Structure 1
Amino acid sequence: MKRSGPGPLDRVFRLLVPVVGMFLLSGCSTLGYYGQLAEGQWQLLRARQPVEAVIADPGSNPQLRARLEHAEQARAFASQQLKLPDNRSYRVYADLGRPYVVWNVFATPELSLQPVTHCFPVAGCVAYRGYYRQGAARGAAAVMREQGLDVYVGGVEAYSTLGWFDDPILSSMVGWGDERLATLIFHELAHQRFYVKDDTAFNESFATFVEQEGTRQWRVSRGLAAVGDDHGKQREEFVRLVLASRERLQAIYAGPLDDDHKRAAKQAEFERLRAEYRVVRDSQWAGDKRYDAWVYGAMSNAKLLPFGLYDQWVPAFAALFQSVDRDWVKFYEKVEALGRLPTPERNDVLQQLM
C-alpha cells in the first residue's frame, strides 16, 4: 500500500547511504549487514525505468504520469537554474511495492543523547544503520535493546547515493504533493553537488538551504508566492519543541543526580514535551493532529536523535549565498572551500556567518 502523502517528519528521517564499497570493509558491522545493503540496492537498481517511458506508457496510472511530468520540470530547473548536477538521477523511476525504501535504526545509551555511530567508507560516520527489510531492522533493534540501549526505528521514503548511482524517483515518494517532490530533488542533488565525510550537520544544513532557496526560486518561476505552505511552519515549530526538550535532557544527564533519579527525570521530561505539544497543537494549529502518533508513541533518547541536523547551519549558508550576490556557482565554490577546512575551523567560520 502506498502512502497518500509524506509523513510529517519525512525530512528528519531521510537516509544517506552510499552503498558502493560498503561491503568491502567490515570494521563496523558484519558481512551479513553489508550483504543486505548490496542486495537491497541491487533490487532497487533493477526496478528503475526511464521517467519518459513511464509517462509515454498509456497503461501508466494518470496520477503517476502527471506527478512525474511535474517532477521532470523541477529536475530540469535544478540543473539549469540552481546549477545542480545534470545527470540521470531523478530521471528514472522505480516501483518499490512497499511504503518505505529502508528503515533506519537509531540507538543511544539509556542516560545519554550521544548516538551509537556506524562508520562507512564513503559516507563517513553516521548515527544510524539502514535496513532494506523492516523485519531485519526490528531484529537489530531488539538486539540493541537487550544490550540496554535506547532504540528507535524510523521508515524512510527516499535517500541519496551521493551520485554513485542514478537515484530514482521512488513509488514511496509519488504520493507527495508536487512541491514536496521538487524540494526533495533539490535537496538530494545538493548532496551530489558537495558532501563532506563525518559532518552530518554541515551536509544536511547545506542541502536544506539549497532546498529552501531552490523552492523559493522554483515557486517564483511558476508565478507563485515565494513563501511556502503552513505545514512547513508547523514542522519548524515542532522541531523547536523537540530540540528544547533534548537540551533539557542533556542537562539532566550531565547533572549530579544518581541514575535512578535521572531515569525519573527523563520520563518527566517526555511528559513535559507531550504537554507542551498539546498546547501548541490546540492553540496554534487548530487541533491538527499530524504529529500525534509520533508524540504519543513510545519515547526514547534515540527517537530525538535526528532532530536539528538539517537546520543547524542554514542561516550561515543563507548569509554566504547573499555574500556572493546570490550567484549559485560562486556559492558552491565558497561551500567547497569551507568543506576543505578542518572541522573546528569550519564550524568557527559558520558560527561567524550566523
Structure 2
Amino acid sequence: MQIPRLPPGCPSLVLLATALPLLSGCQTAGYYGQAVRGHLQIMHRQQPIAELLQQPPTPEPLKAKLRLILEMRGFAEQELKLPINGHYLRYADLGRNYVVWNVTATPEFSMQPKEWWYPVVGRLAYRGYFVEREARSQAAELARQGFDVDVGGVRAYSTLGWFRDPVLNTFVHEPEIELAELLFHELAHQRLFVSGDTDFNEAFAEAVGEEGTRRWLRARRGAAAEAEYEAHLRRKADFTRLVTGAHDRLAALFHDAGTSTQSVRMGKSLSAEKAASLRAQKQAILDQLKRDYDALKSTWGGRTDYARWFSRPLNNAHLNDVDAYYRLVPAFHRLLREQGGDLEAFYHEVTALTKLPKEERHRRLQP
C-alpha cells in the first residue's frame, strides 16, 4: 500500500481549479491555460453514473466500483457529516493513469518549500499540470535554478465545491481501503479549507479520510477488516516518523549552517568547501533514512509498503511532500479523541483553529 495522493490518490495533492476563471490576464497565462484545458477535458468526458449502471456495455467490474462509491458517498454524508452535494455522481475516463502531476521544489540547503500564489486559495507549495511533459519541463527548469524537485502523479483532486467533482478512471479501480481513504479525504476538503496552509488542509483531510475509513470498515466489513486497516495505519505512522525525523535532522543541519538567506539556501553564496560539506552531511542523512526504512520493513513480515516512494530520488522536496501531508495528522486524531469521537464537535474545533494566524494554528497542533 502506497501513500495516498503522493501518488496515488496525494494526496490530496489538490490542483485547485477554483482560481482559473480569474486569471485570463495573468502573466502566467500559459500555465493557467493548460489548467483550464485540462479541467474542461474532464468536464467534457463526464457521464452520469446512473446511466452507466443501466448500460449493458459498461464492464461489470466498473459497475461494481461505481456502486461502491455511491455507497461510500452516502456514508460520508450520513455518518461522517461531510457535504457531498452533487459530487461523485458522474464518471470520466481520461485515458491516463493520473489526472494531474504536481511539481514541488525546495532549495538545496533548506526545508522551506517554494510556494506559488493563487487567487482564492492563497499560497500553495505545489504546481499542478494536466500534462506530464509540462510538469517535468517545469521541474527541470527549477532544478537548473538549484532547487531540489519532485514530480508526483495525482489520482484525484478537489475543486472545493466550485465544480461537481466526478469519479475518475485514475482512482475508481483502487482497492476498497484506498478508495475509501481517497473519497473521504477529498470530501473533507469540501467541509473545510483554509487559504494558504497546505499542511493544515492536507493533514485535516488525511485524518478525516483515515477515521472515515475506520468507521466504514467497522460498519460494512467487520472486525477483521478493521484490524487489518489498523495494522496498515501503524505502518504508515512508522514510515511517517522515519521521514519526518530525517526532515527535522536536515532542517537542523541547514539552520546550524546559517542558511537563512535565499542565495545561501540555493548554495550560491557558499564557499565550494562549505557547500561540499553540507552536501555530504545531507546525503548521509538521506542514506541513513534508507537504512532505517530497510530495518523497519524487516519487521513488517515481508510487506513492502512505501517501496515505490523510496524508489524515487530522495531530496528535500520529496521529504517535504510527506511532511506536508502527515506531520499534523496525529494532532487531528488527538483532537477528535478529545471530542469523544463526535465529528461535528471535532469540525467545530478545527473551524475555530482556522480563525487563528497560521503560526498560532500550527503551534496549537503540536504535541
TM normalised by structure 2 equals 0.87
Structure 1 residue 11, shift from structure 2 partner: 5.3
Structure 1: 5+ residue stretches without partners: none
Structure 1 residue 20, shift from structure 2 partner: 2.6
Residue 242 of structure 1 is matched in structure 2 by 243
Structure 1 residue 332, shift from structure 2 partner: 2.2
Q: Is the 8 Å Cα contact of residues 9 and 235 (structure 1) preserved in structure 2?
A: no
Residue 158 of structure 2 is matched in structure 1 by 160
Distance of 1:87 and 1:29 partners within structure 2: 35
Q: Which moved more, 1:215-224 or 1:150-159?
A: 215-224
Q: Is the 8 Å Cα contact of residues 8 and 155 (structure 2) preserved in structure 1?
A: yes
Q: Is the 8 Å Cα contact of residues 7 and 155 (structure 2) preserved in structure 1?
A: no
Q: Is the 8 Å Cα contact of residues 6 and 13 (structure 2) preserved in structure 1?
A: no
1:59-90 deviations in Å (ceiling 9; x for gaps) = 11111111111111010011112111131111
Residue 338 of structure 1 is matched in structure 2 by 353
SS in structure 2 at match of 1:284: coil
Q: Is the 8 Å Cα contact of residues 184 and 211 (structure 1) preserved in structure 2?
A: yes
Structure 1 residue 244, shift from structure 2 partner: 1.4
Q: Is the 8 Å Cα contact of residues 104 and 125 (structure 2) preserved in structure 1?
A: yes
Distance of 2:53 and 2:172 partners within structure 1: 13
* 350 and 258 in structure 1: CA distance in 2 versus 1, 3 angstrom threshold: same
* 200 and 44 in structure 1: CA distance in 2 versus 1, 3 angstrom threshold: same
Structure 1 residue 171, shift from structure 2 partner: 0.3
Q: Which amino acid aligns with 2:248?
A: E
Structure 2: 5+ residue stretches without partners: 258-272
Distance of 1:215 and 1:14 partners within structure 2: 15
- Name the count of aligned residue pairs: 348
Residue 185 of structure 2 is matched in structure 1 by 187
Residue 170 of structure 1 is matched in structure 2 by 168
Residue 308 of structure 1 is matched in structure 2 by 323
Q: Which amino acid aligns with 1:259?
A: A
Q: Which moved more, 1:199-208 or 1:146-155?
A: 199-208
Distance of 1:293 and 1:319 partners within structure 2: 29
1:201-220 deviations in Å (ceiling 9; x for gaps) = 22122212221222222122
Structure 1 residue 53, shift from structure 2 partner: 1.6
Q: Is the 8 Å Cα contact of residues 151 and 302 (structure 1) preserved in structure 2?
A: yes
Distance of 1:304 and 1:113 partners within structure 2: 9
* 315 and 246 in structure 1: CA distance in 2 versus 1, 3 angstrom threshold: closer
Q: Is the 8 Å Cα contact of residues 49 and 91 (structure 2) preserved in structure 1?
A: yes
Q: Which moved more, 1:8-17 or 1:53-62?
A: 8-17
1:303-348 deviations in Å (ceiling 9; x for gaps) = 1111122333334333433444433333323322221222233334
Structure 1 residue 286, shift from structure 2 partner: 3.2
Q: Is the 8 Å Cα contact of residues 9 and 155 (structure 2) preserved in structure 1?
A: no
* 285 and 329 in structure 1: CA distance in 2 versus 1, 3 angstrom threshold: closer
SS in structure 2 at match of 1:182: helix
Q: Is the 8 Å Cα contact of residues 204 and 329 (structure 2) preserved in structure 1?
A: yes
TM normalised by structure 1 equals 0.90
SS in structure 1 at match of 2:111: coil
User: Aligned pair 1:221/2:219, yes or no?
Assistant: yes
* 311 and 150 in structure 1: CA distance in 2 versus 1, 3 angstrom threshold: closer
Q: Which moved more, 1:15-24 or 1:33-42?
A: 15-24
Q: Which amino acid aligns with 1:314?
A: V
Q: Is the 8 Å Cα contact of residues 72 and 180 (structure 2) preserved in structure 1?
A: yes
Residue 44 of structure 2 is matched in structure 1 by 46
Distance of 2:207 and 2:326 partners within structure 1: 8
Distance of 2:147 and 2:326 partners within structure 1: 27
Q: What is the alpha-carbon root mean square deviation over aligned residues?
A: 2.5
Q: Which amino acid aligns with 1:153?
A: V
Residue 301 of structure 2 is matched in structure 1 by 286
Identical pairs, percent? 43
